[in-house]
Amino acid sequence: MEPLKLVVILSYFILIVCCVKGQQPADSVRQVPSRGRKLLFFPVVARSVETGWSFGAATASTFRLSKFDTVSRTSNLQGLALYSLKKQLITAINGSIYFPRETYILDHQLSYSYFPDKFWGLGPHAPDSAEEPYNFKQYYIYLHLRRKLAKNLFAGILYEQQNVLHMDYKEGGLFDREKVPGRHGYFVSGLGMSLTLDSRDNAFAPDKGVFAQLYFNHFARYLGSQFTYTNLVVDLRKYLRVYRGQVLAMQFFNFFNFGGAVPVRSLASFGGANSMRGYYSGRYKDKQQIVFQSEYRVPVYGKFGLVIFGGVGDVAHKPMHYDLSTLKYSYGGGVRFALNKSEKLNLRLDYGITSENHHGLYFQLGEAF
């Protein structure tokens, strides 16, 4: 669901603008609750391999459910409308609501997208020459409610709905030859659970700590889904302080699909602005995906910093049926500019190069992971 990743990245605008307006860092927020509500409106500019340059606007609101709560982080709600030079449209409402003392946390997203995209076929061997364009229209709903079990530990329940109303592709081409599920449009609805351990000192550019999340989501007929299958995701991240503000960040990401046929927009999607940079998001698709990536972040002067990164990974049709001969890698570097140093919210410019000599330039907000 590549457009949705872009929505998550751009939602950082709310935090950046709020910081500019004078909100306190996360640790301070826990001691001195902000007063009242704030409503903001601002322009958005971004760039990725998939969209090229994108332009739009966003509105954002920050608030607290209780003015007497000195523990919870500030809740946020934002709306976004984005149009790219490749004639892609993304509209979304998303945010996070922190209930008193963070006993519960609700993450939510509602979106509509019209997205001209590209498809190379299924599997790790899909050649560049197979590239075919296609368009789709999609409505999407995501709800994730987590409850605190202990310090830094949360259990959650999640619901996901995807409604692909229309797919326009070349008849007799790759979609038909490979009989890709969902190529005529579809509706899926899934219910699942999650377990999250989060000891990071900052959610956007941590210096230390661990983020470990395991979740599954089951799409079933009794929920109205036209396909029956299960997603299982393992996301492990570790952050280490090295020397004078330098940070080593590492991530292991494993995405599984089990059960019956999995529709095209729910398959594992390799590449993008946050994973295996340099690869077009969705350059390789299949039921399974594995990625290991790391990043070394170095402050240089004032608000400027440099980053070098690299990653390896691949897709497969069955769990753990990865072929070392097709293992893919990417590497590159980037520049960081701190829009707000206390919140560690950075504007990033990254350039990625892949093992297949593909290149990608990214202009985004917030770190890749």
Domain positions in the chain are 2-365
In the structure, what pLDDT confidence band is assigned to residue 342 with cuts at 50, 70 and 90? Answer: low
Look at residue 255 in the predicted model and tell me its pLDDT. 95
pTM, full prediction: 0.82
| DSSP character string of 58-114 | EEEEEE-S-TT-SSSPPEEEEEEEEEETTS-EEEEEEEEEE-GGGSEEEEEEEEEEE
Token pair in block for residue 149 = 């079990």
Which of 113-117, 229-233, 284-288 comes out lowest in average pLDDT?
113-117
The CB density around residue 14, as the number of other CB atoms within 10 Å, is 26
Look at residue 36 in the predicted model and tell me its pLDDT. 54
Burial letters 204-219, b for 16+ CB under 10 A, else e: bbbbebebbbebbbbb
In angstroms, the CA 110 to CA 39 distance is: 19
Strand 209-219, strand 132-150: pairing? unpaired
Please give the average per-residue pLDDT across 127-144, as a whole number: 94
> Is the pLDDT reported for residue 29 higher than 80?
no
Look at residue 1 in the predicted model and tell me its pLDDT. 43
- Percent of the chain's residues with pLDDT above 90: 59
The CB density around residue 306, as the number of other CB atoms within 10 Å, is 13
CATH of domain 2-365: 2.40.160.50
